[in-house]
């Protein structure tokens, strides 16, 4: 019988999907890819493969996990396996430049951005973009390293801090910095649209007033019994009922063209009503508290989507 195989490198992020798959008795196996081997002389097992590799794996010590996943996906795809979020999705996961160029091809606006290799070019990039600006990594995740730089003097300070920091995680994993126009929202929130099976499922509004590390899963990773910051008075994550936006059909077309079966797109709308997409997540996490309040479950929808692909995998076998 064919099985669902989940490619990932973070056990904690898998708990909700694990529960949803178990609830419908879906046969599944986890492929935790950090270190190991792939025997290219053998065929991979049958089944559906769901790639949840994350751009931020290096921040958990899994330095080469995305490269490992990339090699595994080459092997799976050459054997005709059904892969949700395949090689192109992985390419986009680890490069915001790749995301922006691919979004542009579908008429989805992104913030003006200059990519920089070599810190000595950051000032020249900032001159092109102007301040305030966002300084971030091309390959990032969880908002780590995202800095709001309000002035040229603040940029000089940021560059000095970068030079003095000996933590390798403070540097972009691929050496590429992004200098990007800061999109000021009239209210401090961003919107994250979730797509499953390539179709829009719901949008969640995320409060940014406490900073840029906005991972929906991590915000909930607090000890049981303590107050959950996600349900605190401000409700950091809130699913917007009946959300509609003219860019959603373009986003669905973008996801389909890039083989992203399950993913999220983050965007900000400025005071003039212009919307800019700035992040594509192919290993999206869902906020359990916000889902409970809205009576929705994206992990259940992902589980059903993956089970629905099993007959196709059996046919390919
Ligand atoms: N150009 C921008 N203008 C305003 N805020 C931004 C911009 N880029 C990033 N941010 C803020 O920083 C957060 C993290 O940035 P993001 O690009 O999503 O990186 P990551 O891939 O680490 O999630 C965003 O959710 C948003 O709140
Ligand atoms: Mg993000």
Looking up residue 268, the CATH number of its domain turns out to be 3.30.470.20
Q: State pLDDT tens for residues 242-256.
A: 999 999 999 999 999
Q: State pLDDT tens for residues 126-172.
A: 999 999 999 999 998 788 889 999 999 999 999 999 999 888 888 99
Tell whether 210 and 242 lie within a shared domain. Answer: yes
In whole angstroms, give the CA distance from residue 66 to residue 93: 9
Among 160, 181, 202, give the residue marking a domain's end: 181
Q: Is residue 107 included in any domain, yes or no?
A: no
Q: What is the CATH number of the domain that holds 127?
A: 3.30.1490.20
220, HSE (Cβ side, Cα atoms, 13 Å): 17
Tell whether 196 and 249 lie within a shared domain. Answer: yes
Number of domains comprising the chain: 3
The CB of 172 under 6 Å from ligand 1? The reply is no
Q: Is residue 102 included in any domain, yes or no?
A: no
Pocket test for ligand 1, best of 268, 275, 281, 287 (most atoms within 8 A of CB): 268
Q: What is the mean pLDDT of each run of 10 residues along the chain (317 residues)?
A: 93 97 98 97 97 95 96 98 98 98 98 97 98 95 89 96 88 95 96 98 94 68 41 76 97 98 98 97 95 97 98 86
Q: What is the CATH number of the domain that holds 7?
A: 3.40.50.20
Calculate the CA 176 to chain-centre distance: 18
Q: Is residue 41 included in any domain, yes or no?
A: yes
Q: Which residues pair with 194 in a beta bridge?
A: 202, 264
Flag whether the pTM goes above 0.85.
Answer: yes
Tell whether 197 and 265 lie within a shared domain. Answer: yes
Q: Which atom of ligand 1 is nearest to the CA of 214?
A: 25
Identify the residue whose C-alpha is closest to ligand 1 atom 19: 143
**Domain interval for residue 87:** 3-92+301-316
96: enclosing H helix or E strand: helix 96-104
């Amino acid at each position: 019988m064919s099985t669902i195989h989940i490619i990932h490198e973070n056990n904690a992020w898998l708990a909700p999907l694990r529960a949803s798959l178990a609830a419908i008795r879906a046969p599944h196996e986890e492929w935790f890819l950090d270190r190991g081997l792939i025997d290219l002389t053998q065929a991979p097992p049958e089944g559906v493969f769901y790639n949840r590799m994350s751009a931020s794996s290096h921040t958990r010590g899994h330095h080469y996990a995305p490269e490992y996943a990339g090699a595994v996906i080459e092997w799976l795809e050459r054997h005709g396996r059904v892969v949700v979020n395949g090689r192109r999705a992985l390419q986009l996961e680890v490069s915001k430049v790749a995301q922006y160029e691919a979004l542009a091809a579908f008429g989805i606006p992104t913030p003006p951005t200059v990519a920089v290799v070599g810190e000595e070019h950051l000032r020249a990039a900032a001159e092109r973009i102007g301040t305030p600006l966002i300084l971030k990594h091309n390959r990032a995740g969880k908002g780590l390293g995202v800095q709001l730089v309000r002035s040229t003097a603040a940029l000089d300070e940021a560059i000095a801090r970068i030079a003095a920091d000996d933590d390798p995680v403070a540097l972009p994993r691929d050496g590429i910095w992004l200098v990007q126009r800061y999109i000021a929202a009239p209210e401090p929130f961003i919107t994250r649209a979730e797509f499953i099976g390539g179709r829009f499922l719901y949008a969640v509004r995320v409060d940014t007033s406490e900073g840029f590390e906005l991972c929906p899963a991590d915000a909930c990773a607090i000890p049981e019994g303590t107050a959950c910051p996600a349900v605190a008075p401000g409700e950091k994550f809130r699913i917007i009922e009946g959300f509609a936006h003219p860019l959603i059909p373009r986003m669905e077309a973008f996801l389909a063209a890039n083989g992203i079966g399950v993913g999220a797109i983050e965007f900000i709308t400025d005071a003039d009503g212009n919307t800019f997409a700035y992040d594509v997540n192919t290993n999206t996490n869902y906020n359990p508290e916000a889902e409970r309040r809205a009576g929705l479950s994206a992990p259940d929808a992902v589980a059903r989507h993956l089970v629905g692909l099993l007959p196709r995998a059996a046919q390919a076998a």
